[in-house]
Amino acid sequence: MPPSSQTAAPQLVASSLVHWRRVRGWTQERLSQESGVNRVVIAEVERQDRNVSLDVLDRLAHALDIQAAKLLNEPQG
C-alpha cells in the first residue's frame, strides 16, 4: 500500500483532467468534441469510476494542448 502522502493514479488523473478542462473553460462536451473521447467516458474518469487507457489519456492531453504526463501530476494553482 502506498504511503498516505501519495495520491493514487485515478485520483491524480481525475483532478488534473478537471483542472485543465476548467483552465480552458471547457465543458465535458467540448473536451469530448476536441478529443474524440465520449463525454460519458470523460465524466466517468473525472468521477474515478473508470480507469483511463494510455490512448485515451494521450487523446485528452493532446486536445488540452498539454503533455500527457501533466495528467498524472497534482494540478498546480
Length of the chain: 77
- CA distances in angstroms from 65 to 12, 21, 43, 61, listed in the order given: 18, 11, 19, 6
**Could you give the domains of the chain?**
15-72 (1.10.260.40)
For residue 74, what pLDDT is reported? 84
Q: Tell me how many helices (H) and strands (E) the chain has.
A: 4, 0
* Angle (deg, nearest 10), helices 39-46 and 28-35: 120
For residue 31, what pLDDT is reported? 98
Q: What is the pLDDT along the chain (77 residues), one digit of tens a residue?
A: 444 456 799 999 999 999 999 999 999 999 999 999 999 999 999 999 999 999 999 999 999 999 999 999 987 75
For residue 6, what pLDDT is reported? 60
Best CA proximity match to 54, nearest among 40, 37, 39: 37
